[in-house]
Chains A and B, each alone.
Chain A
Amino acid sequence: MDSVWNFIVSVLELGNFAIIKVLIILSIILVMVAYLVYFERKISAWAQNRLGPNRVGWKGVLQPFADLLKLLLKEDIVPDKSDKKIHAIAPMIALFVALSTYAVIPFGPSLQLFDYNISLVVADVNIGILFVLALTSIGVYAITLAGWSSGSKYSLLGGIRSSAQMISYEVSMGFSVGGVLLLAESLRPVAIVQAQSGWMWNAILQPIGFITFVVSAFAETNRLPFDLPEAEPELVGGFHTEYSSMKFAGFFLAEYANMIIASAIIVTLYLGGWQIPYIEKLGLSAVVVTILQVGAFLLKLFALLFFFIWVRWSLPRFRYDQLMNLGWKVMFPLSLINIIWVAALIMIFNL
């Protein structure tokens, strides 16, 4: 009995309780996605002088579960002309990318609990940011393959637009991250957060980089004003025109999970991660500080998610040439200027 117990504990201890953290984060993300959809509908309704879903449960709080049940019970239609295997794999790639990126995002400092030193990040790897950039690039494959394998011209156009858009915006995204890396002198997300102690948030030190990164993040997550791959009026839903039932739900889930990831990365890179400025001067106990800091991280995350939804219901969609103009002629030079600005900061103030 004792040996079994020891074995279980040793498995759980693997990689600093990685299994437990993965399970917790996965369930939190799935619940957050469900409620993100709910709040998307609510906020869109409020912005348009409506009430929004309010029939299922108190004020409609059970609406996401009703939606999910509906999607699960729908018939799964696969078009005759589609490439069946790739058609099935595409939503899985989207989900895989959306859920695995979260592994490197730190949501709190390390926690002292029962003689264990638990760091509140699944994988504290020293190439964290590179990992994120690599995975988000794989995310493009999900959309492009979905569009290509559907055997429909609308889907194909959506998929191609998506890949073109991602390539243009990934460049400025990478260069804006460059500014952050110069200041933090590390690719480790935890180190980047620690480098932003006090009010040394990257959003304040390099506002241009912050703006270019946020705009690129909008483009990467295919949210309005850059949701050209789906563009309902012209492409009838774009890459997911030919998807139904659970495969469609996969894309749906991935889109919202991507929004959470993008917000979490923005918080980590530019808004000081879990840090609350000057909290150490209040003289609170370590556990309380940790809880407050995790709370601060979530608060920043929710504020950004609200911003994502708010922008979607305020701005019109860009035309395709405007999108490319903005990407290559505005965002790209701006992110280069940002790198020079950061280099100058480092030279002058020896940061």
Chain B
Amino acid sequence: MQEKPVKRRNKDLSFWEKLYIPEIVKGLSLTLRTMFKPKFTMEYPEVKFEPTGSYRGRPVLVQEENGVERCVACGLCSRVCPALAIEVQAAETELEKERYPEKFEINMIRCIFCGFCEEVCPEEAIVMSKDYELAFSNREEAIFGKNKLLMPVNQLQDRIDFLRQYK
């Protein structure tokens, strides 16, 4: 039977490693090199991160050029929402789409930015925007009604293009 070769363990230091000084010089040179590398920090309030189309920010309602929302108040988004954040109340309208959301509220404290609402929407009426600056000082403020949710379609073009390509 052949004897297994003795495996040298990592914790056994070689002679040069035991002297410490070469290893210390190695470590020092590493940190010195790092000191002069460019930094990637974005200084947030002055420089803002501009997300790409794949970014899932706060969900918004798409507003057409004529000022009317695309939503037909089918309630699918409200149904699929795992966090129960969306509340829709439908009403009738004279327009071609016949139904519109009388009340559309998203509770931004509950929203988990999963994007299911956008995925399930048959009209491409609710999409995730690039907006990530969400801070509230009380709970009432965090419930976004239609006035805060509507966003013109030209501001959402990146996301809509992304959805058409990959969804």
Query: Which residues of A approach B to under 8 Å, CB–CB?
Result: 43, 46-51, 54, 211, 310-311, 313-315
Query: Which residues of B approach A to under 8 Å, CB–CB?
Result: 21, 24, 27-28, 30-32, 34-37, 39-41, 43
Do B27 and A46 touch across chains, with their CB atoms under 8 A apart? no
Closest A residue, CB atoms, query B30: A314
Query: What is the CA–CA distance of A140 and B32 in the complex, to the nearest angstrom?
Result: 32
| Residue in B24, B28, B32, B34 whose CB lies within 8 Å of A48 | B34
Do A313 and B31 touch across chains, with their CB atoms under 8 A apart? yes
Query: What is the CA–CA distance of A43 and B31 in the complex, to the nearest angstrom?
Result: 10
Do A49 and B32 touch across chains, with their CB atoms under 8 A apart? no
Do A310 and B41 touch across chains, with their CB atoms under 8 A apart? no
Do A47 and B41 touch across chains, with their CB atoms under 8 A apart? no
Do A50 and B31 touch across chains, with their CB atoms under 8 A apart? no
B140 to chain A, nearest CB (A): 32
Do A49 and B28 touch across chains, with their CB atoms under 8 A apart? no
Do A51 and B34 touch across chains, with their CB atoms under 8 A apart? no
Which chain A positions have C-beta within 8 A of B41?
A: 50-51
B77 to chain A, nearest CB (A): 41
Do A49 and B34 touch across chains, with their CB atoms under 8 A apart? yes
Query: What is the CA–CA distance of A46 and B34 in the complex, to the nearest angstrom?
Result: 7
Closest A residue, CB atoms, query B29: A314
Which chain B positions have C-beta within 8 A of A54?
A: 43
Closest B residue, CB atoms, query A211: B21
Do A310 and B31 touch across chains, with their CB atoms under 8 A apart? yes
Do B27 and A47 touch across chains, with their CB atoms under 8 A apart? no
B126 to chain A, nearest CB (A): 38
Which chain A positions have C-beta within 8 A of B30?
A: 314
A310 to chain B, nearest CB (A): 6
Do B34 and A47 touch across chains, with their CB atoms under 8 A apart? yes
Known pairs A49-B34, A49-B40, A315-B27 / 4 extra A-B pairs, C-beta < 8 Å = A50-B39, A54-B43, A211-B21, A311-B28
